A = this chain, B = another copy of it.
């Protein structure tokens, strides 16, 4: 190789190791979540998934991941070429986080894009759902997703919100739009709804079909720590009071900083009739916490797989060791105490859950929905068939929720 070829090779390849290229079964396609050109993992027509990793010196490799992958972890076997591989049972359609366990350490698949989940960058696999193209990029007008930095005095730090502007935003420089604030789950960040959730494509498709009104969607980071205080350790066994403090700071950022910033920077309709908020899992919990405390600011409310914790706003622990009863008179500081007034004021209250979610989520959400309905509160209870505590549930929530907004 002459010097110029060396320069080209250096310029083009850098010094990084190439991605392992493993032999694959036929009639399988590389996942669209793979990095450019990576043939593995690949997905069969039956939704079995073939994973592989070149690791000649390893003693054991497994693949593990989100509920939708199957029971797992799945032991991989080593071929003569040092490539470990396994074909996992048919997966649930949708997006699943996954990782390899390499000699006991959870590591990413170098062949996969990464997605922020579990508090770190994690591999993910997109398993197609037959016939479902509501979250595909299609030949329709596309909105933009804008990264917007703003300084939060509350937290003493710069924050980044992602802002979806609808396809016609630039073409109508006088038009004003309603706003949906859309929040990610625990361990994720403001990138979740567009990267894992494909919220922008879902909205593009709905708007192109005339099924949703043009709107601005704001996705902020769900973590907020009051300036000058140590980060709150939120984990197993955390107290209600700690949760309350963390959520209250988040609420203050949303209500007193994010919303005014968005209303100043974009052509919004800055009133409660044109403002919705939704979130998934922890984001759903936060959403009920914030919106029910601020019905002066919001008139559409969506909680997607968010545990319903009636006393969360008080920070008080429940008595005894049994599930807290949902009492519509006292829940959320009495927000539902007068059902007639609530129904008049709130145009949509949505509680969603996947039918394959754990009983913890299903029972908390469905029993709250039942109690609210019995009390005469208008609530839409949505079940996503066959999906777990994963993004396919939340994509479906959004696809059904967004058309009900701002009429």
Closest to A10 in B: B360
Task: Provide the A1-37 mask, 1 if CB < 8 A to any CB of B, else 0.
Answer: 1111111111111111111000000000000000111
**Residues in chain B near residue A229, CB distance under 8 A:** none
Shortest CB distance A370–B (Å): 17
B16:A187 contact, CB within 8 angstroms: yes
Stretch at the interface among A125-133, A233-241, A333-341: A233-241
Shortest CB distance A145–B (Å): 4
A12:B238 contact, CB within 8 angstroms: yes
**Residues in chain B near residue A54, CB distance under 8 A:** 105
A59:B11 contact, CB within 8 angstroms: no
Task: Determine whether A291 belongs to the interface, using a CB cutoff of 8 Å to chain B.
Answer: no
Cα distance, A307 to B11, chains bound together (Å): 8
B7:A307 contact, CB within 8 angstroms: yes
B121:A108 contact, CB within 8 angstroms: yes
A55:B119 contact, CB within 8 angstroms: no
**Residues in chain B near residue A156, CB distance under 8 A:** none
Shortest CB distance A363–B (Å): 9
**Residues in chain B near residue A231, CB distance under 8 A:** 37
Task: Determine whether A110 belongs to the interface, using a CB cutoff of 8 Å to chain B.
Answer: yes
B114:A114 contact, CB within 8 angstroms: yes
Cα distance, A200 to B105, chains bound together (Å): 36
In the complex, chain A residues 138-159 whose Cβ is within 8 Å of any chain B Cβ: 139, 142, 144-151, 158
Interface size on A, residues (CB 8 A): 99
Closest to A282 in B: B11
Task: Provide the A95-127 mask, 1 if CB < 8 A to any CB of B, else 0.
Answer: 001000011111110111110111111100000
In the complex, chain A residues 166-210 whose Cβ is within 8 Å of any chain B Cβ: 170, 173, 185-187, 189, 194, 200
**Residues in chain B near residue A13, CB distance under 8 A:** 118, 186-187, 235-236
A-side binding surface: helix, strand, loop or mixed?
loop
Task: Determine whether A371 belongs to the interface, using a CB cutoff of 8 Å to chain B.
Answer: no
B120:A149 contact, CB within 8 angstroms: no
B104:A110 contact, CB within 8 angstroms: no
B105:A8 contact, CB within 8 angstroms: no
Closest to A309 in B: B4
Cα distance, A168 to B363, chains bound together (Å): 50
Stretch at the interface among A211-219, A252-260, A317-325, A397-405: A317-325
Task: Determine whether A223 belongs to the interface, using a CB cutoff of 8 Å to chain B.
Answer: yes
Task: Determine whether A361 belongs to the interface, using a CB cutoff of 8 Å to chain B.
Answer: yes
A186:B118 contact, CB within 8 angstroms: no
Task: Determine whether A364 belongs to the interface, using a CB cutoff of 8 Å to chain B.
Answer: yes
Max chain B Cβ within 10 angstroms of own Cβ: one of A12, A144, A237:
A12
Instruction: Knowing that A13-B236, A14-B186, A170-B266 touch, tell me 11 more A-B residue pairs with CB under 8 angstroms.
Output: A2-B321, A4-B323, A5-B236, A9-B237, A14-B117, A35-B120, A38-B120, A54-B105, A103-B103, A142-B150, A145-B147
A selection of 5 A-B contacts at a CB cut-off of 8 Å is A10-B389, A12-B235, A14-B118, A16-B187, A58-B104
Which 6 residue pairs are nearest across A and B when measured between Cβ atoms? A16-B118, A57-B104, A9-B236, A107-B107, A12-B186, A114-B121
